[in-house]
Amino acid sequence: MTDHYQTLADTAMALVAPGKGILAIDESSGTIKKRFDGVGVENTEENRLDYRSMMLTTEGLGDYISGAILFDETIRQVMPDGTPLVKVMEQAGIIPGIKVDAGAKDLAGFPGEKVTEGLDGLRERLAEYAKLGARFAKWRAVITIGDDIPSRGCIEANAHALARYAALCQEAGIVPIVEPEVLMDGDHDLDTSFDVTEATQKALFAELYEQNVMLEGTILKASMVISGSEASDRADINQVAEATVDCLLNAVPAATAGVVFLSGGQGDVEATAHLDAMNKMGEMPWPLSFSYGRALQAEALAHWAKDPKGNRAEAQAIMLHRSRMNGLASLGEWSEEEENQ
C-alpha cells in the first residue's frame, strides 16, 4: 500500500477504534432550524456555535467519540477566544469530518424518489476542506420504501453518485463515509426492509468496485434493517439485530474498514440496544459502531435549550453518558444497569 492509501486506512481504522464511534452534528441550516424550533431556541449562527461547541468541549468525550461530522459553516467557526473549532476538536482527540453532499433532490422520472446531488465542483471543495482540517467526509443517499418503490433506477443512480464521491474523497486523502439510508418511514415489515437494504448495499459495493474505491479506506454508514415506523407489528431488538447482521454479511465485503449506523428516528436507548445486541452476536468481519445524530443529541439538546448557560455542564454530562453507552454497545458490553447508573 502506498503512503497515501495507508493514511486513508489508518484514519478509517481510527474512526472505528474499539469502543468509539462518530458524532453526527452536520445538520444543514434547514434541519438544525427544525431541531432548534422543537426546543424553542433561535436559529442564529452564534447559537449554533454555542450548542455544537458545548458538545465538542465535553471533558472526556474523545474516550468514546472518534470523530464528528460537521456542516460547512461549522468547520469554519472560531470559538469566542479565537481558537478554531477544528483545533478544539483535535486537542480533544476528535477527528474533524465534513458533510459534502448538497442534499437529496427529486429524481426526474421517478415520482416519490430522491437522488443526492453535489458532485459538480466536489474535487475543489474537498481540497479546501482538507486544508481546513477535514480527514473524513459524508455523503447521504436516501432510499424510500413505498408502493412499487424503490425502483432499480433510483438505487443505481444513488449508488453511482456515492461511488463517484468516494473516489474523489480518496484522491483528496479524505476517508469517505458512504451512507445509503433506507428510510424507516412507512408501515413496511422487517422482510421488506431487509430486501431493500440488501439490494441497496449490494448495488453500492458493485459501484464502489467499478469506481476503483479502496474499501480499506471506506466506512459504510448503514441504516438498520428495521420495521417501518408505522408498522402494526414491529420486530423486537434481537430480530432487528439478527436481520441487520445477516444483511451486512450478505452485502458488505470483509475488506471494508467498518460499519457505523445512523439512528434514523429510533429512540436514544433503542439505538444503543440494537447496536449492543449486534455486537453480542460475536465476531464480525468489520467493527460495528455508531454515527448517530438524533440518538446522541436529543436529550442533551433538550436540556441545554432550557438554559444554555446554566445547564451547559449538565447537558455535557448527558452527552458524555449517551456517548459512553454507545461506546459500550460498540463492544457488546452495554447493559440496563450501566444505562441507569
> Exactly one of 27, 113, 179, 198 is catalytic; which is it?
179
Taking CB under 6 A as the criterion, the residue among 293, 318, 324, 328 binding ligand 13P is 293
How far apart CA 317 and CA 304 sit, in angstroms, is 11
Taking CB under 6 A as the criterion, the residue among 53, 244, 256, 263 binding ligand 13P is 263
How far apart CA 53 and CA 319 sit, in angstroms, is 12
Residues 148, 150, 198, 259, CA torsion sign: negative
Taking CB under 6 A as the criterion, the residue among 52, 125, 294, 322 binding ligand 13P is 294
Shortest gap between Cβ of 46 and ligand 13P (angstroms)? 23
In this structure, the number of other CB atoms found within 10 A of the CB of residue 304 comes to 25
Does the annotation mark 221 as catalytic? yes
Q: Return left, alpha or beta for 32; rule: phi > 0 is left, psi -120 to 50 is alpha, else beta.
A: alpha
Binding status of residue 62 toward ligand 13P by CB under 6 A? no
How far apart CA 295 and CA 223 sit, in angstroms, is 13
Binding status of residue 295 toward ligand 13P by CB under 6 A? yes
- Look at the chain and count its residues: 341
3-state secondary structure at position 115 = strand
Q: Which residue is nearest to ligand 13P (CB)?
A: 293
Angle at 142 between CA 126 and CA 49, to 5 degrees: 55
Shortest gap between Cβ of 227 and ligand 13P (angstroms)? 16
Query: Using CB under 6 A, which residues numbered 1 to 60 contact ligand 13P?
Result: 24
Query: Using CB under 6 A, which residues numbered 174 to 193 contact ligand 13P?
Result: 179
Shortest gap between Cβ of 264 and ligand 13P (angstroms)? 4
Tell me which H or E stretch contains 67.
strand 65-70
Query: Using CB under 6 A, which residues numbered 137 to 156 contact ligand 13P?
Result: 140
> Exactly one of 20, 99, 138, 221 is catalytic; which is it?
221
Residues 325, 328, 329, 333, CA torsion sign: negative
Under DSSP, the state recorded for 97 is: E
Shortest gap between Cβ of 291 and ligand 13P (angstroms)? 6
| Per-residue cell: 115 | 437522488
Does the annotation mark 179 as catalytic? yes
From 33-41, 51-59, 239-247, 288-296, span contacting ligand 13P (CB under 6 A): 288-296
Binding status of residue 292 toward ligand 13P by CB under 6 A? yes
Task: Name the site residues for ligand 13P (rule: CB under 6 A).
Answer: 24, 140, 179, 262-264, 292-295
